[in-house]
Amino acid sequence: MKKTHLIGVLIGLTIALSMLSIVNAVGPDLVFVSPTGETYKRGDTLTIRVVTYASDDTALLQIKYGSTIKWVDQGYFSPGDFIYTMIIPSNWAGGTYTIHVKGNEGSVGSTTFYLSVPSGGGGYTPPPSAKFVLSDFSISPTTVEPDETVKISVKVTNTGTKSGTKTIKLTIDGVVEKSEDVTLGVQESEIVSWNVKKTTPGTYSVDVNDLIGSFKVETEGPEPEPPEPASFILSNLVVSPSTVEPDETVTVSVTVMNVGEVEGSYTAELLIDGSKVDEYTVTLDGGFSETVEFTVTEDTEGTYTVSIGELSGSFTVETPSPPPAPAEFVLSNLVVSPTTVEIGEPVSVSVTVTNVGEEAGSYTAELLIDGSKVDEDTVTLVGEASETVEFTGVSGEEGSHTVSVGDLSGSFTVEMPEEGVGLNWALYAVGGLAILGVAWVVYKQFLES
């Protein structure tokens, strides 16, 4: 577990931050920092940042896919901005998602991001690129006397997949006062810091690449108010994965933030279906936060409610369906027709092929006559389908013949024709020869003429 500043740690793929609106002098205005144009995959960390200069202290967040609300939660400003992170669920469909933010003073903001899900539902691998994340933004002290040094620092991390260079700019009251180019390899980090002095009393707005803060320059005045006592809020409850098999591990995490000004301790209690199963105590300085993580397993199928404080979620335990049975073929209904023929007459053989499996497959039916293969036919069938394969033109010598296809067998008999029929064939032959003889004589006379 790592202690982080009030602004939070940008984990994973951090959304490119850009201000969409500024303070309206007439009424409250909410500034939403957009991930527009960014592409993510399931399981990536989505970071939402909201900045306000109005009197808003809470924001309602919604993520919509079309007209369907996929996720909703509430964040708290302290003071003036907050960062919210969530892991994109593994069952969200690919497409464009819209983030809506509404402050309690009526101020609003919205933006979009794109979720890429390749064909087959697998993971999405982006091309190698440098990706810079700014975190641990610090202004110290936040109140100084004229010409007293204020140290402004930020941690720059390359969370991408190749080296790159990032320009870090320090802007005070809208004017770029300093900048520094930071070159980092993959997963490398560097602290960039500047010392600033201001002579004129007042409040100075600080912007470091869209990380916003402020400090005051003031002369000695009355005794400061006592620090606010430790007070804790919970946010960003994440249950991952949302669907598991029996005895598979589920991770439950929540962010605990001390919105007070002095150190204090908080015990996060994990409840499953209303019963406490674990707890963890964190001690935080004022303005700092920490992510508390639990792991749980369940061996019984069903949906379980997870709660920590006032936040709740759920996960489902289910046994996966068995894979479909492979293709398996059964032969039946072998028919030999007719079973008795004369020499030269054809015999037809048919057989029914049935795929008793659940997956599609192919089967080659081989026709054997007296143990020798004389023909074959291949059929392709979906699960539980049947088809009749037929072989025609089968004949043989005089006698009984065995027919087999697979493990099925039958027979047919070839007989000599009756004597009368043989005499007819002889007469036909003699008549044919006589006709040919007459035709030859006529043709020869034609040639001689």
pLDDT at 268 over 80: yes
Same-domain pairing of 169 and 280: no
Give pLDDT, residue 233: 94
Domain boundary among 294, 318, 342: 318
Give pLDDT, residue 5: 32
Which of 18-22, 54-58, 269-273 is most confident?
269-273
pLDDT at 29 over 80: no
Give pLDDT, residue 1: 36
Which of 40-44, 114-118, 137-141 is most confident?
137-141
Reported in sequence order, the residue ranges of 30-173 that DSSP labels E, i.e. its strands, are 30-33, 39-40, 45-52, 58-65, 68-76, 81-87, 95-103, 108-115, 132-140, 143-144, 150-158, 164-172
Give pLDDT, residue 444: 58
Same-domain pairing of 221 and 364: no
Same-domain pairing of 123 and 47: yes
Same-domain pairing of 185 and 64: yes
Q: Is residue 442 assigned to a domain? A: yes
Same-domain pairing of 90 and 173: yes
Which string of DSSP letters, residue by residue, matches 299-310?
A: -S-EEEEEEETT
Give pLDDT, residue 24: 32
Q: What is the pLDDT of residues 391-407, one digit of tens each?
A: 986 677 888 999 999 99
Same-domain pairing of 110 and 204: yes
Domain boundary among 318, 344, 374: 318
Which CATH number fits the domain that encloses residue 69?
Answer: 2.60.40.10
The pair of three-digit structure tokens given for residue 286, joined into one six-digit string: 């004022």
pLDDT at 125 over 60: no
Q: Which of 12-21, 127-136, 422-431 has the lowest mean pLDDT?
A: 12-21
Same-domain pairing of 169 and 245: no
Q: What is the pLDDT of residues 201-219, one digit of tens each?
A: 999 999 999 899 999 998 8
Residue 147: C-alpha distances to residues 201, 342, 393, 415 (Å):
10, 122, 110, 124
Q: What is the mean pLDDT of residues 333-354?
A: 91
Tell which wins on pLDDT, 297 or 55.
Answer: 297
Q: Is residue 323 assigned to a domain? A: no
Q: What is the mean pLDDT of residues 103-117?
A: 78
Tell which wins on pLDDT, 419 or 378.
Answer: 378
Same-domain pairing of 70 and 160: yes
Q: What is the pLDDT of residues 375-392, one digit of tens each?
A: 999 999 998 999 999 998
Domain boundary among 286, 318, 350: 318
Q: What is the mean pLDDT of residues 174-186?
A: 91
442/145 Cα distance (integer angstroms):
139
Same-domain pairing of 283 and 240: yes
Domain that residue 391 falls in: 329-415
Residue 436, SS3 per DSSP? helix
Give pLDDT, residue 343: 86
The pair of three-digit structure tokens given for residue 358, joined into one six-digit string: 């659940």
pLDDT at 229 over 90: yes
